[in-house]
Structure 1
Amino acid sequence: MELNEQQQQMCSQSKWDFSDLRALFLNCTLKKSPDKSHTQGLIDISQTILEANGVSVEVLRPVDFSLAFGVYPDMTEQGWDQDEWPQINEKVKAADILVITSPIWLGEKSSVCTQVIERLYSSSGDLNEQGQYAYYGRVGGCLITGNEDGAKHCSMNILYSLQHLGYAIPPQADAAWLGEAGPGPSYLDPGSGGPENDFTNRNTTFMTWNLMHLARMIKDAGGIPAHGNQRSQWDAGCRFDYENPEHR
């Protein structure tokens, strides 16, 4: 993906080192690889900016994997014959930045996207070394494509879900492209205007930089400070700044 002049200038003027950061895009398209994904076209912009700044990037299509339905980390333990979510989850846990991307269908995120969020939820009770929820210290964003309304609705749902699981959400953490309502060209179709759309390019660029900046700040700070948010301490009876006669 070739960046425009403004995007290239931002990268060349950067004074930050992001080379120890890892980013993962989960492209929740309904199309298996190698079929063309219009959502991937929008991912390409963000990925190129990240890689230009030294961030290690991986893009996966969950639809390429055999994923079971459910809200447990490994659904083979719940009677399913096969579940490849643990492979994806290892990459999720290794990433400082997670970007969930989805097309719009009937005004909603894709069914694959819903399944991914359900599977992310399966690890919501896990704890890190400080007794916080496992996703603390990571940042999240989202990208949406489609030619029907619903971009902000999908973004609200995805970003709420990520922060509820423990991800930190920076300012301007979403971007989208929408074509004309109804049948019409999709993002990568000739004449769509998608790749040239200034509004989408601006928001995608801002989202990407904000994800890098917040990930850098959190990593340099050693994570989210562990006070008032430790599930392990709460379960032990600690109430942090509130008096608790049962725990001294």
Structure 2
Amino acid sequence: MKAIILLATLKNKGRSNTETLVEFLGGYLTKQKIDFEVVKLANHNIVPGTYTHMDVEDDWPAIYQKILDAEILLFATPIWWNSHSSELQRCIERLDEVYDVIQAGEDSPLDGKIGAAIITGDSDGAEHVTGNIANFLCSLGVTFAPYGSLGVIWEGHGKNVEKTKEECLQYYTENYEQDAQALAESLFKLAK
């Protein structure tokens, strides 16, 4: 069983809170025997557009193939101004061609896949972002998992707050262990 995690942090260098939360969840995915690959979007050239293949070469077609090859699709994003990151928005726009296929009366290439959201922020907004992601995935034929959001809203995620990776992992373990376990178990059961 394979999951692809689109990590939509804005940081292409150094550690981000969202990346640390993905690592935290990864331990629970491994316990459920779910293999996963993390694609850090900020490290890839993804041009703007609404098709899989654009007029210029970029990394999106290879990333899209990884999505097709996986049973589970996870969007991992920080919250910026009550919304998901611009890195994730670009992927959503590039996945628009899947919706074109559905509108043409054909089956979605993503039909039967399981989806979920991983969200970090320092104030409210996780429910709003989860709702947007769930709506988008469901519109493409992806089943949004029960317990399908691991959202950590914590002042320790503040833009100018410096928490070490260890401090973040300790906080996640103390406060979100049950949520991470429930999400991993739900993904396994649905994908099985």
Shared fold, TM over 0.5: yes
Question: What runs of 5+ residues in structure 2 fail to find an aligned partner?
Answer: none
CA–CA distance in structure 2, aligned partners of residues 196 and 185 of structure 1: 19
More strand by share: 2
Asked if residue 60 in structure 1 is aligned to residue 39 in structure 2, the reply is yes
**Cα RMSD after superposing both structures:** 2.1
**More relative contact order, 1 or 2 (CA 8 Å, 6+ apart):** 2
Bigger Cα Rg: 1
The change in CA–CA distance for 1:148 and 1:184 in structure 2 (over 3 A counts) is farther
My pick for the range that moved more, 177-186 or 105-114, is 177-186
**Number of corresponding residues:** 187
> Secondary structure of 1:159's partner?
helix
Asked if residue 32 in structure 1 is aligned to residue 6 in structure 2, the reply is no
Asked if residue 95 in structure 1 is aligned to residue 70 in structure 2, the reply is yes
CA–CA distance in structure 1, aligned partners of residues 101 and 181 of structure 2: 32
CA–CA distance in structure 1, aligned partners of residues 163 and 96 of structure 2: 30
Asked if residue 108 in structure 1 is aligned to residue 83 in structure 2, the reply is yes
The change in CA–CA distance for 1:205 and 1:53 in structure 2 (over 3 A counts) is closer
Q: Could you tell me the percent identity over the aligned residues? A: 27
More helix by share: 2
Say if 1:187 and 1:195, in contact at 8 Å, map to a contact too.
no
CA–CA distance in structure 2, aligned partners of residues 191 and 47 of structure 1: 17
Amino acid at match of 2:62: Q
The change in CA–CA distance for 1:186 and 1:208 in structure 2 (over 3 A counts) is farther
Asked if residue 204 in structure 1 is aligned to residue 180 in structure 2, the reply is yes
> Secondary structure of 2:143's partner?
coil
How many Å apart are 1:90 and its aligned residue? 0.5
> Secondary structure of 1:196's partner?
helix
> Secondary structure of 2:36's partner?
strand
In the alignment, what sits opposite 2:3? 23
CA–CA distance in structure 1, aligned partners of residues 142 and 171 of structure 2: 29
Say if 1:147 and 1:185, in contact at 8 Å, map to a contact too.
no
The change in CA–CA distance for 1:51 and 1:118 in structure 2 (over 3 A counts) is same
Say if 1:38 and 1:188, in contact at 8 Å, map to a contact too.
no
> Secondary structure of 1:42's partner?
helix
CA–CA distance in structure 1, aligned partners of residues 178 and 163 of structure 2: 16
TM, length-normalised to structure 2: 0.88
TM, length-normalised to structure 1: 0.69
Say if 1:172 and 1:207, in contact at 8 Å, map to a contact too.
yes
